[in-house]
Structure formats: C-alpha cells, structure tokens
Structure 1
Amino acid sequence: MYAPTPDDWRQANRARWDERVAVHAAGDYYDLDSFLAGREALRDFEIAEVGDVTGRTLLHLQCHIGLDTLSWARHGAAQVVGLDFSEPAVEAARGLARSLDLPPERAMFVAADVYEAAEAVPDPAYDIVYTGVGALNWLPDVDRWAETAASLVRPGGFLYLAEFHPLTDCLDDETGSTVAYDYFSREAWVDETPGTYADPAAETVHNRSVEWQHPLGDVVSALAAAGLRIDFLHEHDATLFARYQALRRHADGYYRFPADRPRIPMMYSLKATRPAVG
C-alpha cells in the first residue's frame, strides 16, 4: 500500500535483506555452484552496452552478494569494488571472491549505505560506476543517489544503469494491460509479503519492506543535474521474471508478452558520461 515514508525504512529493509542472504546463497535462483564454475551472471545487453572493461576500475553500488560485481572482474576489469548496506551480503560476496581466487586488490566489498558511498569506498573515483537491476526502488531520494553516484565517476568515465522500467509497476499484476497504480506517486510502497523473489515459499521473519517508484524522467534529470551527459537511454521489451501472468519465457531466458499482445518497455538501460577535463 502507498504510505508516507516511515522513519525506520532503512532498518526494515536492511533486516529484510540480511535475512534473505542465506536463502539466496543456498538456492537455485542464484545457483552459486554454476556461477563459480563459470556461468555468466550479467545480462547480454549489459555486456554489449558497457563494452570492454579490460584494465578499468568499476564500482558496483547496491551489489547484494556480488555476482554481477565479480562477473565484471571475469570480463577483465582491473579492480571491482562492490558496496551494499547488508553486512551478510558483503560477507557472502567476499567468500565468493575468495573461491574465485580474486585478491582484494582485484575484488573488494564494502558494507555501507549507498548514500554514504563516497566516504566508504577506497578510491575517490572510478572509470565505471555500475548499478544493476532492482536497486533504485529501495531508495527514497533519487536526486541524492544521482549526486553520490556521479561524484564517483572519474572524468572521462561513465555511469551505467540497468533497471526495471517504472511503467511495469503501474499495471495490474495479472494481465499487465490495465493502469492500476499511479506512475507519478512519490509515496512509499510498504509491504509485508514473506519469502523472496528467489524462493517465494521460503520461511522468513523480517517481511516488512519499504520501496519507492522513480519515474524515468526523474532518473534521467537527476543524473543530468549531477553533471553527467546522457549518452543513451534504451528501453527493452523484455524482463527477467514473470511480472505478469501473461508473460512467456523465451529461449534467451527473458520474459515477454505473446506476439499478439502490444509491447511495452519492461526494462531500461542508460549510460551517462562525466566529461573529461580540458
């Protein structure tokens, strides 16, 4: 339900994520054994749009247990730093890095709030600042996020964001064909659903979550106001899970509407560069 932002939103969300780390690490959704054996965790469009990361430094904000972060190291990044507010998630990520024989100078993980990232990470700026899917909805202030993220982009470097499209949260849950929720709402969405997207049947205790919807225009405008130049904004007609009952899973692993249904954007990605000095 929509509600004013509660004072304990950060504590509630941290308790929820802390509890779910063990579920995610043990389950089939993240399938850590196959990841450690070489399975790709990044989406194909992310790899294509970010491009060659060989020899570059990369900061991953809101990294959870670090699969995407470590994948960029596998793709040749000289150093990756993952940041997450959940200490159990950071410990799990560090364990994965050790299992992959990646020393701290190649793969480092930091437990800190994303709004405090500039004070928590080891370097003042990075070639690439990356944020993966399912991150911005946990933050109440997208302007503050953009200012923080942009401050960590080295001149000539860029921010890359891949996210679920905010339009998807406005449509009815069953068919995805009727507008059911306010696209422009600035209130929090407070929920008590147990389990997790990785295992809906998991028995969990800390079930309260507080999330926010950020219209696409707000995200783009916030990054531009923070001094970044928008290089591209791509909208994708596919998503990573069965958001609506009408979606069908395709051979490439993405979910799409049947061919006889009009398409809508369900994910988006953008790249924003900090102009080089001089």
Structure 2
Amino acid sequence: MTGVLTAESFDLVYTGIGALCWLPSIERWAETVAALLKPGGRLFIREGHPVLWATDEDISDSLHIVYPYFERDEPLVFDDDTTYVDTDQRVTATTTHEWNHGMGEIVTALLRHGMEITGLVEHQSVPWEALPGQMVCGEDGEWRLDREPWRMPLSYTLQAVKR
C-alpha cells in the first residue's frame, strides 16, 4: 500500500456507524482495511444495518423499503440542509451521495481479502432516532422500534481478524 498510511502497521481498525454509506465500493474498503492491519490485527464495526439504510425514514406510519439493499454503481442522491448534529444551524453543502452495502457483500469482501469473521451480531437498536415517529429511546440511550422491535435489525457489530 502506498500513500500516507503504512501497510500492515495497525493492530485495530474501527469503523463507526454511518461510515460505510459514504463509500461507493465495499470491495475497495475491505482491501484497504486488510492492507492496513498487521497479521493478527482486528477489525471492529458498529454500523447501521443495510435493511435500515434501505428504509424510508420520511414515512412515519409504517416501515417501507424503498432504497436499494445491495450495492449499486450509481449513488442515492439526497438534497437536505439538516444535519444529525444537535443544532438549529443549517448546512450549506446540501447534496449527499450514498451507497448501501448488503451484509453478504460486506462479509464476502472481508473474507476475500484475508479477514476471518470472529463475530457478527445484529441489533434491534441504534444510537439515534433513525425512523422518526416509529421509535422509542431506552434507558441505555439506544433507539428501538416502538412496535414489534423484532421485525427488523437496525444495526450490527462485526469483528474480524486478519489471517
């Protein structure tokens, strides 16, 4: 690997919620993660579930899958002047480009680049009100569907080790 970061120099790579949707290729991301990790190095992901990313958050009466679950070459393009940061300020750069990546695509890309999956857990919660009008916040600060939370995963954690 060339560039600013030295290959095989990291013990841990962490990817947090909302990072993968900005990447057009999960394959290139997995290749980069594997290249950065030392043998025995670990990857930890806490991410919004691809089913959640495929759900329209603007429909508050029920769940509606309207966006792609699987990665596509062309991005989803949104124009919105709000931010997830708790503020009344509006953003000036309002256009975003986003991509979804299915669970199978993520796992397969990591396996293809020499990573061994050591854990994968799907969760019924996320740390923000992802579907306004359909969620309640628990004492742990995590948001869950207010009706039948077992209907869909909202986030996941994945752990892997570089072979």
3-state secondary structure, aligned to 1:119: coil
TM-score (norm 2): 0.88
Kindly state the Cα deviation for residue 122 of structure 1 after the two structures are TM-superposed.
5.5
Distance of aligned partners of 1:201 and 1:226 in 2 relative to their CA distance in 1, 3 Å threshold? same
Match of 1:190 among 77, 99, 106: 77
1:143 aligns with 2:27: yes
What does the per-residue CA deviation read over 1:91-144, in whole Å, with 9 as the maximum and x for residues that have no partner?
xxxxxxxxxxxxxxxxxxxxxxxxx8x521257421111111110100101101
Q: C-alpha separation between the residues in 2 aligned to 1:170 and 1:263?
A: 14
Match of 2:127 among 236, 240, 258: 240
Kindly state the Cα deviation for residue 203 of structure 1 after the two structures are TM-superposed.
2.5
Structure number with the bigger relative contact order (C-alpha 8 A, sep ≥ 6) is 2
Q: Which moved more, 1:145-154 or 1:174-183?
A: 174-183
Kindly state the Cα deviation for residue 274 of structure 1 after the two structures are TM-superposed.
1.3
Q: C-alpha separation between the residues in 1 aligned to 2:71 and 2:159?
A: 25
User: Do the aligned partners of 2:54 and 2:100 also contact (CA within 8 Å) in 1?
Assistant: no
User: Do the aligned partners of 1:194 and 1:200 also contact (CA within 8 Å) in 2?
Assistant: no
Q: For residue 146 of structure 2, what is the aligned residue in structure 1?
A: 258
Question: Equivalent pairs: percent with the same residue?
Answer: 35
Distance of aligned partners of 1:121 and 1:142 in 2 relative to their CA distance in 1, 3 Å threshold? same
The letter of the residue matching 1:251 is E
Q: Structure 1: 5+ residue runs without aligned partners?
A: 1-115
1:30-109 counterparts in 2 under 5 A?
none
Q: Which moved more, 1:244-253 or 1:176-185?
A: 176-185
Q: Which has the higher helix share?
A: 1
The letter of the residue matching 1:253 is G
Larger Rg: 1
User: Do the aligned partners of 1:166 and 1:214 also contact (CA within 8 Å) in 2?
Assistant: yes
User: Do the aligned partners of 2:83 and 2:90 also contact (CA within 8 Å) in 1?
Assistant: no
Match of 2:108 among 221, 225, 230: 221
Q: C-alpha separation between the residues in 2 aligned to 1:233 and 1:262?
A: 17
**Residue correspondences, number:** 159
User: Do the aligned partners of 2:7 and 2:35 also contact (CA within 8 Å) in 1?
Assistant: no
TM-score (norm 1): 0.53
3-state secondary structure, aligned to 1:130: strand
Kindly state the Cα deviation for residue 243 of structure 1 after the two structures are TM-superposed.
1.2
Q: Which has the higher strand share?
A: 2
Q: For residue 155 of structure 1, what is the aligned residue in structure 2?
A: 39
Give the aligned CA root-mean-square deviation in angstroms: 2.0
